[in-house]
Amino acid sequence: MSELTDLTAVQLVDGYRKGDFSPVDAVRAALRRAEEVQPAVNAFVRVEPEAALEQAEASAGRWRRGEPQGLVDGVPVSVKDLLLMRGGPTLRGSRTIRPEGAWEEDAPSVARLREHGAVFIGRTTTPEFGWKGVTDSPQSGVTRNPYDTSRTSGGSSGGSAVAVAVGAGPLSLGTDGGGSVRIPAAFCGIFALKPTYGRVPLYPASPFGTLSHVGPMTRDAADAALMMEVISGPDPRDWSQLGAVAEGFRAGLDGGVRGLRIAYSPSLGGQVAVRPAVAAAVRRAVECLAAQGAYVDEADPDFSEPVEAFHTLWFSGAARVVQHMSPAQRGLLDPGLREVCAQGARYSALDYLAAVDVRADLGRRMGHFHATHDLLVTPTLPITAFEAGAEVPKGSGHRRWTGWTPFTYPFNLTQQPAATVPCGVDEEGLPIGVQIVGPRHADAVVLRAAHTLYEAGVGHIAPPAVA
């Protein structure tokens, strides 16, 4: 049954419905893949085979009776170890969190998946408290890229990206505060969506405030649309949640891009140096959208790099995370996290409010931009995966991870939906991603454009070396 690890969630559900195989078959295959690849890539903090097989047996019984519990009944799912999941600790990549305790509460997105019958196979790795764009932590070590294990998986949802890429379950829950589902998805050759802020409820509230989104990490856009139908359900614990989407995310998925006005910005107006292989692959994806009937013109959004404002907001959030910690606990932290926490603690309330003003102006500018463009397309990242265990590429001159992620974090500031689709590989066989950004609330349009790329063959690349 090893071929089951190649199937999408949509294909698994279809197979369950037809009786071609059972959730027990699919979950056993996913667990086997997780066990096989874990020594090479370190995608999981914890795998729970007994609990997963118990859930799979229950799901199989429901399918035999013709009474599936929900849209993803029996589908193997993993969860980033930042999101609460009852029955076990959420360690957040940190040695400062004690695993003892009841751990009786699910995060909203986890609760919705549970209600729909998903089978949870394990918890995936994260940098400490999700603070950076690569995945290594004092608690769980380094997570490696399945295309080349000497390279980084990206982050902060690196474990989730790797789990999906290698076939250890087609669905994973990640979080994205500055690119954290899109960065690792691009590096590992999978799909990811950062939804409009509030579209997927979040609890407890992130210390990084309204920068942090919860999103699906999947084999393709159709799986993400399915997952969004589940996890976007309302939850009263999130005061900033958005109302339900009446039409859902799957209804218009096959509608194509004909007539859409798409802006292609290869370098944000010359602000970003993009590697030639990345630029060429992204351009081919844009040409595919044009061939499918979209009106494409090269146009850049009207903003200068807002990195200092982002740092003020992000580092202040990091400082808030550790505010209650003793000196002994702080000594256990990732040294890079200690640095940004110290910087964040030096900002004043006026500094923070000035960053909020920059954010508001950026949102206004993007609102005007989308008055004439339905979508914006950029590279997801200007580079491909670099050496594992480093926050920035050697010799890059960057001090922090934001230096090599200029296409991702601005759209956390603006709260817009943004997805990444694989669009090729570089000369070393490392995946390249193209980013599709929509105006706030246009998640379904972003998914439709991404699905068009998959249907045209652009989103399918060779499987990773460890697959």
Give phi and psi for 141, each to the nearest 5. 85, -155
* 330-333 LR contacts (CB < 8 Å, sep 24+): 332/94, 332/95, 332/96, 332/138, 333/94, 333/96, 333/128, 333/138
Catalytic residue among 140, 153, 156, 206: 156
| CA distance from start to end of the chain | 14
- Which residue blocks in 256-348 are alpha helix, DSSP H? 276-291, 307-322, 327-330, 335-346
What does the angle CA 464 – CA 225 – CA 413 come to, to the nearest 5 degrees? 85
Q: Are the beta carbons of 134 and 127 closer than 8 angstroms?
A: yes
**Structure-token pair, residue 407:** 């296409």
CB within 8 Å of 50: residues ≥ 6 apart: none
Q: What are phi and psi of 200, to 5 degrees?
A: -110, 115
Beta carbons within 8 Å of 64's beta carbon, 6+ residues apart:
none
Token reading at 212: 């942090």
Active-site residue, from 157, 180, 206, 232 = 180
Which of 423, 338, 332, 335 lies closest to 378, judged by CA?
A: 423
Identify the active-site residue in 22, 59, 78, 80.
Answer: 80
DSSP state of 211: G
Q: Which amino acid is at 114?
A: R
3-state class of 204 per DSSP?
Answer: coil
Q: Are 60 and 22 in contact (CB under 8 A)?
A: yes
332 CB burial (10 A radius; 0-12, 13-18, 19+): middle
Distance between alpha carbon 156 and the CA centroid of its chain, in Å?
Answer: 8
Task: Please say if 18 is a catalytic residue.
Answer: no
Q: How far apart are CA 45 and CA 50, in angstroms?
A: 16
Q: Distance (Å, rounded) from C-alpha 249 to C-alpha 224?
A: 9
Q: Is 394 a catalytic residue?
A: no
Residue 240 annotated among the catalytic residues of the structure = no
User: Cα 151 to chain center, whole Å?
Assistant: 18
How far is residue 312's CA from residue 316's CA, in Å, rounded to a whole number? 6
List residues with catalytic annotation: 80, 156, 180
